[in-house]
Amino acid sequence: MRRIFFFSLAAMLLLSATGADAQWRYRHSSPVTRTSIEGAEYHNFARTWQNIDIAGENDLLYSPVVRGIAFTTGHSFLVHRRPVLRVVHFGFDVTWFDIEYGNWRRRVEGKNKWMHKVDMSIGAGPAIHINPVDRLGLQLYFHYDPTLSAVAHNFAGVEDDKFELVAGYASYFSTGLVVSWDAFSIGGEYRHGGGRYSGIRIPDVTISGDHISDILGLDVKDMLDNHRHTMSGWRVFFGFRF
């Protein structure tokens, strides 16, 4: 009888301690899982396609499709800790740095035409995070991306022996969907926007060997008036979140 009493007492104490520990863990643990991207840094590597419309004074000059690559890094913040309907969180994304490079080459009427484009931007905007299961995360976001952009090209309207180098400020807007599993993610993004560019028209020479003197003697007085570029395109990316 005494053995049964002590065995029952030990079992009760063990169950009580286990229950207290579980209660403490519940009260002090975050309801947000790691894959819900709370406080997560994101680093994305993208393949890009940009459809660029470059307008002259009265009409469209040309509209190439520029293909390239991009790298993005930023941080996702959650507005609240307790999920709505146990799976939904509302947040805010801040992109610290985004850089994209693209180029286009084509032979037109026996002449080589080309374009190089570099965009550097930051960004911010709201996001919705959904965690249907523990490690699976879905994110839908909308960002505003102020951008510094530079373009070099020898397209229509440029003499055969010259090319244009222009730069300006552009306002881009991006909408994307991300699917993440643990720390890995894939996604797609649609971007659009535009800005005004200005720059110079300079001789198209090779920067090597005997052409150094030509480079030093460039005549950069041929200044270009502001003209508008508009862009729309897609990104497909994979990334890491931690």
Asked if residue 6 is part of any domain, the answer here is no
Calculate mean pLDDT across residues 127-153: 93
Query: Confidence band (pLDDT; 50, 70, 90) for 177?
Result: very high
Q: Is residue 200 part of a domain?
A: yes
Examine residue 15 and state whether it is found in any structural domain, yes or no: no
pLDDT of residue 186 exceeding 80: yes
**How would you classify the pairing of strands 41-55 and 65-78?**
antiparallel
Q: What is the residue whose two structure tokens read 């490079």?
A: 101
Number of domains the chain contains: 1
Is 52 inside any structural domain?
yes
* More confident call, 34 vs 82: 82
Structural domain contains residue 18: no
9 has a pLDDT exceeding 70: no
Please determine, for residue 120, whether its predicted confidence score (pLDDT) is greater than 90: yes
Q: Specify the pLDDT at position 37.
A: 45
- Please state the three-class secondary structure of 56-114 as a single string: CCCCEEECCEEEEEEEEEEEEEECCCCCECCCEEEEEEEEEEEEEEEEEEEEECCEEEE
Residue 219, Cβ neighbours under 10 Å: how many? Answer: 9
Mean pLDDT calculated for residue range 133-154? 92
Do the domain assignments include residue 8?
A: no
Stronger pLDDT, 33 or 190, i.e. the higher one: 190
CATH number of the domain to which 196 belongs: 2.40.160.20
Predicted pLDDT of residue 161: 63
Is the pLDDT confidence value at 113 over 70?
yes
pTM: 0.75
Alpha-carbon distance 130 to 137, whole Å? 6
Which pLDDT belongs to residue 105? 86
According to the model, what pLDDT value does residue 150 have? 92
State residue 81's pLDDT score: 81
Residue 223 is assigned to a structural domain of this protein: yes
Per-residue pLDDT, 63: 67
The answer to whether residues 65 and 49 touch, using CB atoms and an 8 Å cutoff, is yes
**What average pLDDT does this structure show over 12-23?**
42
- In terms of residue numbers, what domain contains 232? 31-241
Kindly state the average pLDDT of the residues 106-132.
Answer: 89
Poorest-confidence range of 82-86, 91-95, 105-109, 174-178?
105-109
Residue 180 has pLDDT above 60, yes or no: yes
Is residue 64 over pLDDT 80?
no
Q: 228 with 195: CB under 8 angstroms?
A: yes
How far apart (Å, rounded) are the C-alpha atoms in residues 52 and 56? 13
Whether residue 236 lies inside any domain: the answer is: yes
pLDDT at 234: 96
